[in-house]
């Protein structure tokens, strides 16, 4: 309320145009690909960090990690490698 107290003229505001309204409406209804989100960027960052970590592991640690990553126990409620890949491909195609 400083403007009122000091009897200053409030800053001018640009009028909202029809084009801006249409652009906003399109953003509200247009599907957003996962590739365009911060979540995708974060996922890519995690992949880079995992690769950097993997590069500094010993041969034994790498072997153990690869085994852990490629052996999925369906009985434990985990996904098979093929299911994981299929879901990853599907999620990239899904629109939010």
pLDDT of residue 75: 44
49 SS3 class: helix
Cβ 20 vs Cβ 28: under 8 Å = no
Structure-token pair, residue 24: 């906003």
Q: Please give the average per-residue pLDDT across 3-11, as a whole number.
A: 82
The H helix count followed by the E strand count for the chain is 5, 0
Q: What is the pTM of this model?
A: 0.41
Residue 74 banded pLDDT, cuts 50, 70, 90: very low
Indicate the range of 34-38, 47-51, 78-82 predicted with least confidence. 78-82
CA dist 52 and 5 (Å) reads: 58
Q: Where are the domains of the chain?
A: 18-93
């Amino acid at each position: 309320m400083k403007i009122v107290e000091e009897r200053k003229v409030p800053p001018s505001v640009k009028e909202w145009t029809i084009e801006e309204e249409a652009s906003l409406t399109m953003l509200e209804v247009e599907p957003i690909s996962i590739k365009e989100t911060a979540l995708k960027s974060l996922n890519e960052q995690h992949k880079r960090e995992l690769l950097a970590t993997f590069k500094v592991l010993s041969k034994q640690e790498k072997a153990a990690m690869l085994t852990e990553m490629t052996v999925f126990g369906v009985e434990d409620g985990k996904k098979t490698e093929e299911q994981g890949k299929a879901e990853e491909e599907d999620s990239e195609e899904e629109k939010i």
